[in-house]
Amino acid sequence: MNDTASTYQERYAASLMNTFGPPKLVLAKGVGAHVWDADGKEYVDFLGGIAVNALGHAHPALVEAVTTQLQTLGHVSNFFTTAPQVELAEKLLDLLGVGAGGGKVFFTNSGTEANEAAFKLTRRTGRTHVVVAEGSFHGRTMGALALTSKEAYRAPFEPLPGDVTFVPFGDTDALAAAVTDRTAAILLEPIQGEAGVNVAPDGYLAAARATADAHGALLWLDEVQSGMGRTGRWFAHADVTPDIVTLAKGLGGGFPIGACLGIGAAGELLQPGNHGTTFGGNPVACAAGLAVIRTIEDDDLLEHVAVLGQRLRDGLGADPRVAEVRGEGLIIGLDLAGDTSADVVAAAQAAGFILNNPTPKRIRLVPPLVITGDDVDALLAAWPGILDEATR
């Protein structure tokens, strides 16, 4: 590592809170699905800012949209509105299939903020009980953390907002048994990302919808990681109409933005004075969101994601040292035969590929939606050697 990179590592340790541990790299530049560190070494980015950089790095459409909007009008507060805010809200409701008038949008700056807004929205039903799946991750703020199942995340900050029941993910009987007439909402991820990409079984979301309806509860789907084209569809849920959908990550393509969508009557639950945000829905963030959506549409990226995702899953799973491959489109999780995921990530980084290991056995890949076939083929060609190196 040269002086510049090592100096920044030292300055990081001296000036930033130790919430993430030492940085793996000091990154200096990115183009498409490629990034370069401060030493000038190039990597193919199969993490995408954790499913954030939908258009990769330095995409011209996103750069132009943000630059033009910032030069025109950067921030106005929510005492006012702007064309990008209204247009993005309308577009999200259209993509969800309900259209303007079929729901309402509250914009935030992140996924955890979108989930905080949704959590408060559920309280407006007059009920407090929420049923959530084990393996869930919904954020780190106090409300969202109360809905996140990992005990190690929650324990240091308890007591958290209570009346939350966790049930096994994918178990329709356990879900039905936990929901009662005092339940405000069922909260599920159609695909659990932080747990290592667990895909909801067929019929699970429909069963959740039926259970919610039977008890007058809301069905809330967290699509922060799985939404905005990542599965090869705009949203991971299919053939189910939820009451609430939360979005973030890929929505802004790297510019901070989140959204809480209330469908039908749920969109009317938050009223003036119930919630607020200073930066949420600002015109620059909304212009970024519109640019991401238009590019996905114009470049037919949903089909691209579906095709390359299948190629990647098939290729990675062909090695016998991979026990299982899960996912849809470009949200992919795989189980290794042993607890070697940290070694695999290190070996991949040395070989010029950025991967992620959410658990000791699991690898997660959530690359930019614009990743190329050549990038995918490069990883697949290197994959056996990466596994060899990791097991030495």
Mind telling me the catalytic residues? 137, 222, 249
Return the ∠ at Cα 189 (arms to 106 and 248), rounded to 5°.
35
Instruction: Give the CA radius of gyration of the chain.
Output: 21
Is 298 strand, coil or helix? helix
Distances (CA, A) of 21 to 12, 102, 244, 304: 10, 44, 34, 35
Q: How far apart are CA 247 and CA 225, in angstroms?
A: 8
281 and 78 Cβ atoms separated by less than 8 Å: yes
Using CB atoms within 10 Å of the CB of residue 319, give its burial: 0 to 12 exposed, 13 to 18 middle, 19+ buried: middle
3-state secondary structure 203-240: CHHHHHHHHHHHHCCEEEEECCCCCCCCCCCCCCCCCC
Which tokens go with 163? 């009346």
**CA diameter of the chain:** 63
Respond yes or no on whether the N-terminal peptide bond of residue 156 is cis (omega within 30° of 0): no
Task: Collect all residues with Cβ–Cβ distance below 8 Å to 202 and sequence separation of at least 6.
Answer: none
Q: How far apart are CA 51 and CA 47, in angstroms?
A: 6
143 and 260 Cβ atoms separated by less than 8 Å: no
Q: What pairing do the DSSP bridges indicate for beta strands 322-328 and 331-336?
A: antiparallel
- In this structure, the number of other CB atoms found within 10 A of the CB of residue 193 comes to 25
- In this structure, the number of other CB atoms found within 10 A of the CB of residue 345 comes to 21
